[in-house]
Chain A
Amino acid sequence: AQSVTQPDIHITVSEGASLELRCNYSYGATPYLFWYVQSPGQGLQLLLKYFSGDTLVQGIKGFEAEFKRSQSSFNLRKPSVHWSDAAEYFCAVGLYGGATNKLIFGTGTLLAVQP
């Protein structure tokens, strides 16, 4: 069955430090992959997506993610974290075809940023 795993429930980094949030997926075909961010009390904002092509994807707010088929991973990175990046981050895989067009989300990683 298709699934998304985010192994880290909670991560704390210092402001200015680099960040990597892990995401592993289980999907038989070429995946459509997404990262969303949810600030407290807010909706989900799309950070970036991978559909095909270059496996290193650039997103908004200085984030990037790399698709690695051999590892079934789509990890999110940022070279220098800002306090405003504190939020919940969700990885998702898109399932498309026939009557099934939906996103399967991971359980999220809560990012805390300390001064």
Chain B
Amino acid sequence: DTAVSQTPKYLVTQMGNDKSIKCEQNLGHDTMYWYKQDSKKFLKIMFSYNNKELIINETVPNRFSPKSPDKAHLNLHINSLELGDSAVYFCASSQSEQGSPYFGPGTRLTVT
């Protein structure tokens, strides 16, 4: 019954590797997001998609590439991982671009 789900919940990897985080929402929402929460708990938007179309790319390095195969999914692929990428990544969705985002449980990424 999970509204917004993410896999994996934890991800530990070495510098230079490529990894993906998957997100799915079963709320029928049109808009999906990726937010990053750093070690000081600060939350900042990375991307937003509306009906599979990229709306916001918040000056995120090109190593980060979101992909939305359909309205219910927004995956995040990260190339050449760096130590500074260590954070918790939250997927979220909202009914419209002006709706209240519902957040997933987060994926804790640790780059060693």
B97→A43 contact, CB < 8 A: no
Beta-carbon contact of B100 and A88 below 8 Å: no
The secondary-structure label for the interface of chain A is strand
If A43-B90, A43-B106, A46-B100 touch, does A107 touch B41 (CB 8 Å cutoff)? Answer: yes
When the two chains form their complex, are residues B31 and A101 in contact, meaning their CB atoms are under 8 A apart?
Answer: yes
Given the interface pairs A43-B90, A43-B105, A101-B98, the reply to whether A108 lies near B41 with Cβ below 8 Å is yes
Q: Complex: how many Å from CA A90 to CA B90?
A: 14
Known: A102-B56, A102-B58. A107 touches B40 (CB 8 A): yes
Contact present for B48 and A101 (CB under 8 Å): yes
Spell out B's residues near A (CB within 8 Å). 4, 31, 33, 40-45, 48, 50, 55-56, 58, 90, 92, 97-98, 100-106
